[in-house]
């Protein structure tokens, strides 16, 4: 499930847009260096990215981030996810985009104007995971990249980066992949070799809350519980849950740095 908006250049900087802060890391050959992060407070009447972009501009200026390649990882707070069932009636990419938009609008009960949809590549007959990203956020990131002479190589939901990084550790069979970002979790359920559900849920940063969320999701699966895989890079401790731990959290006090290191 590798989908992002990208060109083919190599990266030098990696920007993380978290739910309440932004951060940036840098590559020097094989050496990784975390430059730092900056918190922001969002207005309840405005989208979160409206506060994130000025914070990012200040952070890039503070660390003199200039003239390189960059990729952006987005917290689930900036993304919408939706399962797009297979339809044999669709034969053209434009039809698929319109179908995906209809799925989003049915799920969220509101128009999807001003959002860009990206679909995971799946074989014929299988459902796809679709991601909707705010067009204004994407344009703002492109403008910031140009202002700092950066080539924007990709903009990718952290969910996709984490899943792609961890997928080699997943065994064959049905599974539930859980991404536990700080205060928000995303769950991907796969069965029979195809995606069955994607769910985003606000969740307290406690083992009890996360375990309850996992159990509720597994109840939808049926009699046989799927294998549960957990990726929790923003947690300072290792969750004590009945799940396979993927990409063990680094001993980082900054959750944005932990997220970056988990997929760097």
The class (CATH top level) of 167-263 is: alpha beta
**Phi, psi (degrees; rounded to nearest 5) at 39:** -80, 160
- Reported as a single tens digit per residue, the pLDDT across 118-170 is 999 898 899 999 999 999 999 999 999 999 999 999 999 999 999 998 888 88
For the chain, the residue count is: 264
Question: Looking at residue 85, what is its pLDDT?
Answer: 94
How many Å apart are CA 13 and CA 42, to the nearest integer? 25
According to CATH, the superfamily of the domain at 5-78+132-160 is ATPase, nucleotide binding domain (3.30.420.40)
* Residues 258, 205 contacting (CB under 8 angstroms): no
> What is the CB neighbour count within 10 angstroms for residue 5?
17
Q: Which two tokens stand for residue 222?
A: 């049926």
> What residues does each domain of the chain span?
5-78+132-160, 80-131, 167-263
d(CA 28, CA 191): 41
Instruction: Read off the pLDDT of residues 64-111 as tens digits, 9 standing for 90 and up.
Output: 888 889 999 999 999 999 999 999 999 899 999 999 999 999 999 988
Q: pLDDT tens digit string along 30-67?
A: 778 899 999 999 888 888 899 999 999 999 999 988 88
- The pLDDT of 223-233, averaged and rounded, is 82
Taking the whole predicted model, whether its pTM rises above 0.85 is answered as yes
Same fold, 5-78+132-160 and 167-263: yes
The secondary structure of residue 235, as a DSSP letter, is -
**Letter string b/e over residues 125-150, b meaning 16 or more CB atoms within 10 A of that residue's CB:** eebbbbbbbbeebbebbeebbeebeb
């Amino acid at each position: 499930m590798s989908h992002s908006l990208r060109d083919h250049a190599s990266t030098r900087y990696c920007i993380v847009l978290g739910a309440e802060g932004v951060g940036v890391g840098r590559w020097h050959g094989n050496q990784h260096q975390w430059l730092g992060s900056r918190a922001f407070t969002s207005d309840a009447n405005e989208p979160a990215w409206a506060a994130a972009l000025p914070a990012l501009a200040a952070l890039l200026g503070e660390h003199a981030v200039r003239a390189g390649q960059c990729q952006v990882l987005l917290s689930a707070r900036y993304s919408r996810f939706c399962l797009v069932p297979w339809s044999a009636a669709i034969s053209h990419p434009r039809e698929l985009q319109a179908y995906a938009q209809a799925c989003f609008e049915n799920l969220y009960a509101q128009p999807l104007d001003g959002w860009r949809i990206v679909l995971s590549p799946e074989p014929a007959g299988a459902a796809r995971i679709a991601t909707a990203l705010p067009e204004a956020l994407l344009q703002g990131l492109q403008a910031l990249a140009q202002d700092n002479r950066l080539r924007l190589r990709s903009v990718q939901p952290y969910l996709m980066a984490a899943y792609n990084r961890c997928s080699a550790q997943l065994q064959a069979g049905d599974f539930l992949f859980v991404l536990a970002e700080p205060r928000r979790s995303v769950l991907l359920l796969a069965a029979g070799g195809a995606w069955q559900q994607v769910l985003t849920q606000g969740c307290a940063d406690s083992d009890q809350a996360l375990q309850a969320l996992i159990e509720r999701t597994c109840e939808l699966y049926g009699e046989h519980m799927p294998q549960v895989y957990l990726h929790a890079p923003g947690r300072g401790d290792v969750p004590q849950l009945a799940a396979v731990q993927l990409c063990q959290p680094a001993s980082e006090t900054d959750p944005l740095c932990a997220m970056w290191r988990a997929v760097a």
